[in-house]
């Protein structure tokens, strides 16, 4: 899964790295995203999840991009190879049970489609005890049994970790590839892929009783050493991390204090006396995993990664 610019990490670098590693099935959300990487993943299946927009069919056909069809209207607009998405509970995209009936009553329509995969998407795969997982798998089996035989695609990252019952011909991992923990509450079986560091621009002493940042939401309880770093919410360092984030420095965590502003944030380095202007704080990394940043921001790791801004210098290691 390389949608949303490979979860914010840069599809034009990530897709070829995955291709090199042997991946031959790629998914994006938009046709535009597929066009951007088509030549980077030659002879690989490249599919667009968000459906077939009227008028786009010739572009798909010319570029060898597969639409994921999820409605009778879309199927009417396509001839050739495609994936078929059936809705088993998300109620967002994919053929509803009623639309599947309509489709099965029109075999000529179905015959125009070369079914590469039948797929569905799990609602709550990261919640292993949620009964919806088994319900969706049963509904998926039921839908596939009514359709012409074709390979199946079921699990996203967390679905893979639900066990063999959620196996299929093709899994569609995204988050796990990028180091987000697919099994929350348990140790992360995946390796981290992203490390985010920011430089301390400036150090200053703030007297006890003085505030730091917009609206002085943090008041120094003692004379404090404040380090200002050049990362803010315009870089996707979410404003909801105000007063909540922490960064790794010299083997310890130092707290963010006050508001995250557009281009800057402030850390209390009083207990890290070695810190000086020019030093780096680790905003995401071994001491501060992406899932922990997400928890502190009140969101998930997906949003943290897809929010990563355009101003960072991005270094791809081993790719």
Ligand X SMILES: *Cc1c(COP(=O)(O)O)cnc(C)c1O
Is 178 among the catalytic positions? Answer: no
Smallest distance, ligand X to C-beta of residue 163, A: 16
Among 51, 67, 70, 174, binds ligand X (CB under 6 A): 174
Residues near ligand X (CB under 6 A), total: 12
Q: Give 173 or 236: the residue with its C-beta nearer to ligand X.
A: 173
Q: What is the CA radius of gyration of the chain?
A: 23
Three-state SS for 284?
A: strand
User: 226 pairs with which residues across the strands?
Assistant: 204, 268
Q: Give 1 or 86: the residue with its C-beta nearer to ligand X.
A: 1
Residue 158 and residue 194: Cα distance in Å, rounded?
19
37 interacts with ligand X by CB under 6 A: no
156 interacts with ligand X by CB under 6 A: yes
Give the Å distances, CA to CA, from 223 to 127, 161, 164, 243, 271: 45, 49, 57, 18, 11
| Chain center to CA of 269 | 32
User: 284 pairs with which residues across the strands?
Assistant: 196
Tokens of 193: 């892929």
Is 312 among the catalytic positions? Answer: no
Q: Give 68 or 229: the residue with its C-beta nearer to ligand X.
A: 68
Residue 114 and residue 132: Cα distance in Å, rounded?
30
Stretch that binds ligand X, among 151-159, 162-170, 184-192, 286-294 (CB under 6 A): 151-159
118 interacts with ligand X by CB under 6 A: no
Q: Give 159 or 232: the residue with its C-beta nearer to ligand X.
A: 159
Give the residue numbers marked as catalytic: 3, 214
| Residues of the shown chain interacting with ligand X in the complex, contacts defined by CB under 6 A | 1, 3, 49, 121, 156-158, 172-176
């Amino acid at each position: 899964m390389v949608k949303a610019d490979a979860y914010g990490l840069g599809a034009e670098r990530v897709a070829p790295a995955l291709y090199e590693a042997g991946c031959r099935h790629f998914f994006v959300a938009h046709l535009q995203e597929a066009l951007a990487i088509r030549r980077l993943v030659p002879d690989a299946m490249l599919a667009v999840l968000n459906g077939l927009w009227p008028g786009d069919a010739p572009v798909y056909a010319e570029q060898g991009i597969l639409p994921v069809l999820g409605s009778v209207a879309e199927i009417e607009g396509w001839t050739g190879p495609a994936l078929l998405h059936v809705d088993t509970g998300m109620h967002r995209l994919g053929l509803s049970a009623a639309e599947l009936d309509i489709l099965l009553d029109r075999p000529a329509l179905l015959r125009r489609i070369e079914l590469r995969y039948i797929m569905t998407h799990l609602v709550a795969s990261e919640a292993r005890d949620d009964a919806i997982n088994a319900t969706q798998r049963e509904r998926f089996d039921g839908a596939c049994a009514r359709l012409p035989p074709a390979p199946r695609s079921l699990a996203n990252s967390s679905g893979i970790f639900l066990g063999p019952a959620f196996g299929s011909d093709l899994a569609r991992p995204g988050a796990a590839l990028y180091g987000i923990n697919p099994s929350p509450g348990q140790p992360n079986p995946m390796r981290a892929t992203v490390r985010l560091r920011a430089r301390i621009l400036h150090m200053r002493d703030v007297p006890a009783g003085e505030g730091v940042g917009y609206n002085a939401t943090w008041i120094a309880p003692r004379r404090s050493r404040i380090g200002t770093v050049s990362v803010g919410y315009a870089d996707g360092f979410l404003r909801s991390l105000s007063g909540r984030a922490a960064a790794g420095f010299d083997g310890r965590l130092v707290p963010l204090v006050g508001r995250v502003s557009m281009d800057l944030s402030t850390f209390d380095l009083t207990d890290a006396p070695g810190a000086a202007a020019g030093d780096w704080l680790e905003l995401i990394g071994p001491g501060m995993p992406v899932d922990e940043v997400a928890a502190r921001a009140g969101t998930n790791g997906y949003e943290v990664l897809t929010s990563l801004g355009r101003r960072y210098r991005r270094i791809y290691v081993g790719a």
